[in-house]
Homo-oligomer: A and B are copies of this chain.
């Protein structure tokens, strides 16, 4: 589609990534891969060192979340619309939190980034180039950890408790089967395939998510320390409150080697 020769100066969505002094760290992986636990531990670790850190989760924009609950309840959303609902949620968090905080020099931790949209939307048959285009205003993470587990492991972790699966979460909108658990297996299988493909084209740091939580976390912290000059994200020293001292105690071991 051609929209005319001239192109106006674009202030909100520059083609070249905007300049920012912060760092963007994302975690990706299947449900049940343990990535949320890992990024949570990273967050606490960085906080314990007085780092300027901000954490944000997929699909959590308060504005859009409340707003789309109704639409989702109706169960009539088609894949493109469903994709754009999540894109809207992401844009809201990106424009109001992620980018401003990166510019303010924060380490921004994202539990899922646009790769999640690539994987889930493509699993729903949405054109992958189109999805990539929808998100192409967003900066690439400085580090993306992909927590790889075999599909069966992640399915076991999620399904063994026989949880109540949401209609879209289970992929029931795709009409593959009427059984939510079976549908979830099919959906996650497709998501897994896309993730595995993305490891070949994207700059993923692959973590073996079948190892012990502690081992994975040590590896993640080591990698972050090797690639990011953490000292430059540290807040100036301020007298601690007793609560802070208590909070920091857990993390004494890691604090030493910064």
- Listed in ascending order, the chain A residues whose CB lies under 8 Å from chain B are 1-4, 6-8, 10-15, 63-64, 66-71, 74, 76-81, 83-85, 87-88, 91-92, 94-96, 118, 122, 124-130, 132-134, 136-137, 197-198, 200-201
A130 to B129, CA, bound (A): 12
Partner of A7, one of B68, B69, B84, B128: B128
Counted per complex, copies of this chain come to: 2
From residue A97, how far is it (CB to closest CB) to chain B in Å?
11
Q: How far is the CB of A196 from chain B (nearest CB, A)?
A: 10
Give chain A's interface secondary structure class: helix
Quick one: given A3-B198, A129-B3, A197-B4, are A80 and B134 in contact (CB under 8 Å)?
Answer: no
A134 touches B137 (CB 8 A): no
> What CA separation (Å) do A91 and B13 show in the bound complex?
22
With A71-B63, A132-B3 in contact, is A125–B88 under 8 Å at CB? no
A96 B67 Cβ-Cβ under 8 A: no
Partner of A3 from B67, B76, B87, B128 at Cβ < 8 Å:
B128
Are A201 and B3 touching (Cβ within 8 A)? yes
A130 touches B78 (CB 8 A): no
